[in-house]
Amino acid sequence: MKSSLSLLLLAVLVWSCGSGGGDASMNLDATDSVEATSTTSVQGLIQKGPMLQGGTIQAFPLDLALNQGEEVAQALLADDLGSYELPLAEGGPVLLQARGVWFNELTGALSGTPVTLGAVVALEDGANAVNINALTQVCTARTVELARGGMTLAAANVQALDELLAQLGIFTPNTHTALAPQALDLALADPVDHALLAGFSAVLLQAAQHRGGAVDSKVQELLGLLTQDFADGTLDPALVQELAEANEVVDTALFRKRLSTWYAEVPDGPGYQCADPDRVLDADLDGRANASDNCPGDPNPAQTDTDTDTIGDICDSCPITACSGFCLAADGAGRPQDLCHLPCQAGTCPEDQTCLQSEALCGALASCCVPDGEPGGACHDDQTCDEGKSCSPDDPSCPAPLNSCCK
């Protein structure tokens, strides 16, 4: 159980956000400013995925002890990319807090309820760039504790993120970044640091789904628990296990596809790239990132690949036979050798192969090419078999899943 936290933390936890609901309207225009002579501004992106136009951004000053003061500025998000710009009268330490409806990168739908995300930063006079996301939120309380211990807020943000990456248990060992969480962006493919935000966002969504109930509220619930628990720089093992289980099954390809589609379709979105979570996530915890793991679903630290087909032996149906398509393994009986096969349509197979319609043989393919002519091979008439052999149609003794073979 963590020690009690400051008003700052209470401001960003889920239960401080009111009774849910999507209307956090403050009767603002996107161009509202604190005063015409403002010389300080902050701009950036709000992302859990992208927060939608009409979401709100507020700034709360922090005193020397980093206690929260009254709101000094507020504005509406400018577009469906989560963009905002907020003028302030002066720089200094602030809590930036955003709230709004967001795009769910796993379901491809808009959230039914808003999410609240925060970031604690020191603003300089002039223009400042600050992104607000799931990682900035979880780091808020820890950043404050580190800064109260003597660090600058800039250094505390970097330190908090580095500690969090080590605690989460979903990334490759010794993962770290020199960037602060507010510098990360889901819409940037490079450098690889941005993939840390994509990876955490994907796993967070999957963990929220595992909790059951309304995913939107479970996302906020998890963010609140993680924020509070991480204030001392450690995470409860139960939360770490929950994230690890989500990491094993999250569909990162779907996450990236739907986020890419969102950026391609919203105004001003085309041209944005997407960070790839598989560059940093380690689903099987074998020390290899999914993108460079030859068997990302099964632990294989040695990455043994006997047939050099880029598929690790541990998950290769034919570990000693390299196939350019798919492989049906030898069964020691009617199929004495591994059988390679390729997707096909009628008339597209090589002369010595037959196009078969067989889910059992072809897997996800509707049809595939298999060698014919040899004993036990596929056939469609006697002329496709080797000399001295004949085609035995609809023969249950043929090696499964073939229904005709040369004998």
Q: What is the per-residue pLDDT for 30?
A: 39
Contacts of 135 (CB under 8 A, 6+ apart): 161, 164, 181, 184, 196, 197, 200
Distances (CA, A) of 12 to 8, 64, 117, 239, 339: 7, 19, 7, 19, 58
Q: In the chain, how long is the greatest CA-to-CA distance?
A: 96
Predicted pLDDT at 203? 97
Q: Are 222 and 211 in contact (CB under 8 A)?
A: yes
pLDDT for 374: 52
**Cβ pair 377, 405 in contact under 8 A:** yes
Question: Cα separation of 140 and 156, whole Å?
Answer: 10
186 with 198: CB under 8 angstroms?
Answer: yes
Tens of pLDDT along the chain (407 residues) come to: 443 344 445 444 433 333 333 333 333 333 333 343 468 999 999 999 999 999 999 999 999 999 999 999 999 999 999 999 999 999 999 999 999 999 999 999 999 999 999 999 999 999 999 999 999 999 999 999 999 999 999 999 999 999 999 999 999 988 889 899 999 999 999 999 999 999 999 999 999 999 999 999 999 999 999 999 999 999 999 999 999 999 999 999 999 999 999 999 988 777 777 899 999 999 988 889 999 988 988 888 998 888 888 888 898 888 888 887 677 787 766 567 777 766 676 667 777 677 776 655 565 556 777 766 555 566 655 555 767 777 777 676 776 556 667 77
What pLDDT is attached to residue 342? 67
**401 preceded by a cis bond (ω within 30 of 0):** yes
Give the SS3 label for residue 72. Answer: coil
User: How many whole angstroms separate alpha carbon 378 and alpha carbon 401?
Assistant: 10
Q: How many residues in total does the chain contain?
A: 407
In this prediction the pTM is 0.78
What domains, with CATH codes, occur in the chain?
Answer: 7-262 (2.60.40.2190), 317-407 (no CATH)
